Structure 1
Amino acid sequence: MAVAALVIGYSKTALGGLAVVAVAIFATILPARQSTAAILAVLIVGDLVAVWHYRRDADWAIVRRLLPAVLPGLALGSVFLGLVDDSTLRRSIGGILLALVLLQLWVKWRAGEQSSSLHERPAAAWAAGTGAGFATMTANAAGAVMTLYLSASGIDKRRFVGTNAWFFLIVNLVKVPFSVGLGLMHWRDVGRAGLLAPAVLVGGLLGYATVRRMSQRGFDVAVLVASAVAAAALLI
Structure 2
Amino acid sequence: MDLAFWCIFAAGLVTGFSKFSVGGMGLLILPLVMVAVPGPEALGVIVPMYLITDLMAILMYRREISWKVLAALLPPAFAGVMLGGWMLSGIDPASFTPLLGAIIIAMLALGLWLDRRPSGLMRHPLAANLTGLGAGFISLVANAAGPLFSLYLLEQRLSKEAYVSTRAWGFMLINLAKLPMLMSLGLLNSQSLALSLQAVPGLLIGVTIGYWLLRRINLTQFKWVIRIMASLAAIKLFAFS
What TM-score, normalized by structure 1, do the two folds share? Answer: 0.90
One-letter identity of the residue aligned with 2:53: G
Deviation at 1:124, TM superposition (A): 1.0
User: For structure 1, which runs of at least 5 residues remain unmatched after alignment?
Assistant: none
Whether the 8 Å contact between 1:101 and 1:148 is mirrored in structure 2 is: no
Query: Is 2:236 aligned against 1:229?
Result: no
212-221 or 83-92, larger mean C-alpha shift: 83-92
State the match for 2:54 in structure 1.
47
Deviation at 1:221, TM superposition (A): 1.9
State the match for 2:5 in structure 1.
none
State the match for 1:150 in structure 2.
153
State the match for 1:215 in structure 2.
218
State the match for 1:37 in structure 2.
44
> Structure 2 vs 1, CA of residues 86 and 124 (structure 1 numbering), >3 Å: closer, same or farther?
farther
Query: Is 2:137 aligned against 1:134?
Result: yes
One-letter identity of the residue aligned with 1:51: I
State the match for 1:195 in structure 2.
198
One-letter identity of the residue aligned with 1:179: L
Whether the 8 Å contact between 1:20 and 1:234 is mirrored in structure 2 is: no
The percent of aligned pairs where both chains have the same amino acid is 32
Whether the 8 Å contact between 2:9 and 2:198 is mirrored in structure 1 is: no
Give the CA RMSD over aligned residues. Answer: 1.8
Distance 1:161 1:226 in 2: 17
Distance 1:190 1:135 in 2: 22
> Structure 2 vs 1, CA of residues 105 and 25 (structure 1 numbering), >3 Å: closer, same or farther?
same
CA offsets per residue over residues 15-42 of structure 1, 9 Å max, x none? 1121121111111211312211011111
State the match for 2:165 in structure 1.
162
> Structure 2 vs 1, CA of residues 92 and 213 (structure 1 numbering), >3 Å: closer, same or farther?
same
Name the SS for the 1:204 alignment partner: helix
Distance 1:175 1:183 in 2: 12
State the match for 2:32 in structure 1.
25
Whether the 8 Å contact between 2:40 and 2:96 is mirrored in structure 1 is: no
Distance 2:235 2:59 in 1: 30
Name the SS for the 1:154 alignment partner: coil
CA offsets per residue over residues 138-185 of structure 1, 9 Å max, x none? 111111221121122232222111111111111111111111111221
One-letter identity of the residue aligned with 1:176: L
Name the SS for the 2:41 alignment partner: helix
Deviation at 1:87, TM superposition (A): 4.2
Distance 1:227 1:96 in 2: 11
Runs of 4+ in 1 over 4 A off after TM superposition: none
Query: Is 2:65 aligned against 1:62?
Result: no
State the match for 1:182 in structure 2.
185
> Structure 2 vs 1, CA of residues 90 and 127 (structure 1 numbering), >3 Å: closer, same or farther?
farther
User: For structure 2, which runs of at least 5 residues remain unmatched after alignment?
Assistant: 1-7
Deviation at 1:91, TM superposition (A): 2.2
CA offsets per residue over residues 18-74 of structure 1, 9 Å max, x none? 112111111121131221101111111121222222222221111111000112211
1:117 to 104, 120, 133: 120
Distance 2:193 2:126 in 1: 36
CA offsets per residue over residues 77-99 of structure 1, 9 Å max, x none? 11111222234244234323323
Aligned residues: 232
CA offsets per residue over residues 181-209 of structure 1, 9 Å max, x none? 11221123333333322210110110011
213-222 or 82-91, larger mean C-alpha shift: 82-91
